[in-house]
Structure 1
Amino acid sequence: MISDAPDAPSLSAPASGRFAAGEHRFPLRVYFEDTDLSGLVYHANYLRYMERARSDMLRIAGIGQRAALEEGEGVYAVTDLHIRYRRPARLDDDLTVVSRVADVSAATCSIQQTVMRGEEILTQGDVSVAFLTPQGRPRRQPKPWTDIFSRLMRGEDIHP
């Protein structure tokens, strides 16, 4: 029987990112399904990569989006997005999405994200989200969440 080493992630757990100096680093690999006919990553898939990285960042930072949704407290919605494509990624490339909190207010948060291949910048995005009630109206984020975002902006690491 195969067992996991103490304090090691489960062998069946999905890939997860980690924090370093307040930045979240999320690893991923380019699969065939991510590419277009030219063998390059289809442009919209960079948005998927960034979304996965943001969701992972929030989850491991202790921001319970699912609980907030299920309890009727609210959800995040993207309100603004700017993306710059610099170089293409290709099939089998190992990439890292680096995310860092750029700004936080009572109801919003801005996150800068960079998709990298090694040290090479491929794509950069600036994403702003607002916390909304289930009816779609802006509302204050939970105070513990804004505290987490503020710590990340100061470069502090968050450990689960």
Structure 2
Amino acid sequence: MPNPAPPSGCFDGARHLYAVRVYFEDTDLSGVVYHANYLRWFERARSDMLRLLGIDQRAAQEAGEGAFAVTDLALRYLRPARLDDDVLIESTVAEVSRVTCTLVQKALLGNGLLCEARVRVAFVSPGGRARRQPAQFTAAFTSLLALPPEGSDLP
């Protein structure tokens, strides 16, 4: 019996792309995607982006190193998604420090922007205090900053 793997998205240069479909459970009474569901989609895309980068959040947490926590979030809603729409979540790394990483995430329908988020996550100790993230995490995020921008003709 086949055992399909959950979707994890893929990288296109520095962009992580993650597809979601709008189901009935995602919509509100008016038939459009409920605003909080964009947060869920962005979180899933970020988690799978980290997984593809080789960042094992669970192992870091179980080893007592810490975990990522959202410390700042700004959302901008532009137009709604509706039942059965195929939405693409695009995630890019905007800034990296020893403790934090800032990502820009977009929910796209075709070429149209539905919602955009700027999310800063900090690596925190098991006690909740900000701490330096593991060097391999910083290196993974930084490697995406070094890639050519979307649509660039650079090698």
TM-score bucket (shorter structure): over 0.9
Rounded to whole Å, the distance in 2 between the matches of 1:145 and 1:54 is 13
Rounded to whole Å, the distance in 2 between the matches of 1:101 and 1:79 is 16
| Structure 2 unaligned blocks of 5 or more | 149-155
| 1:121 aligned residue | 113
SS at match of 2:140: helix
Rounded to whole Å, the distance in 1 between the matches of 2:8 and 2:67 is 22
Give, as a single letter, the amino acid of the residue that structure 2 aligns with 1:65: Q
Question: 1:110 and 2:106 equivalent?
Answer: no
Rounded to whole Å, the distance in 2 between the matches of 1:155 and 1:34 is 34
Q: How much identity, in percent, do the aligned residues show?
A: 57
Pairing 1:24-43 to 2, within 5 Å after superposition: 24-43=16-35
Pairing 1:12-51 to 2, within 5 Å after superposition: 12-51=4-43
Rounded to whole Å, the distance in 1 between the matches of 2:87 and 2:9 is 12
Q: Residues 8-28 of structure 1, C-alpha deviation per residue, up to 9 Å, x if partnerless?
A: xxx510112000111100011
Rounded to whole Å, the distance in 1 between the matches of 2:7 and 2:142 is 26
| 1:5 aligned residue | none
Q: Residues 4-48 of structure 1, C-alpha deviation per residue, up to 9 Å, x if partnerless?
A: xxxxxxx51011200011110001100000000011000000000
Q: How many residues align?
A: 148
* Greater than 4 Å deviation, 4+ residue runs: none
- Conserved? CA contact 1:23–1:155, under 8 Å: no
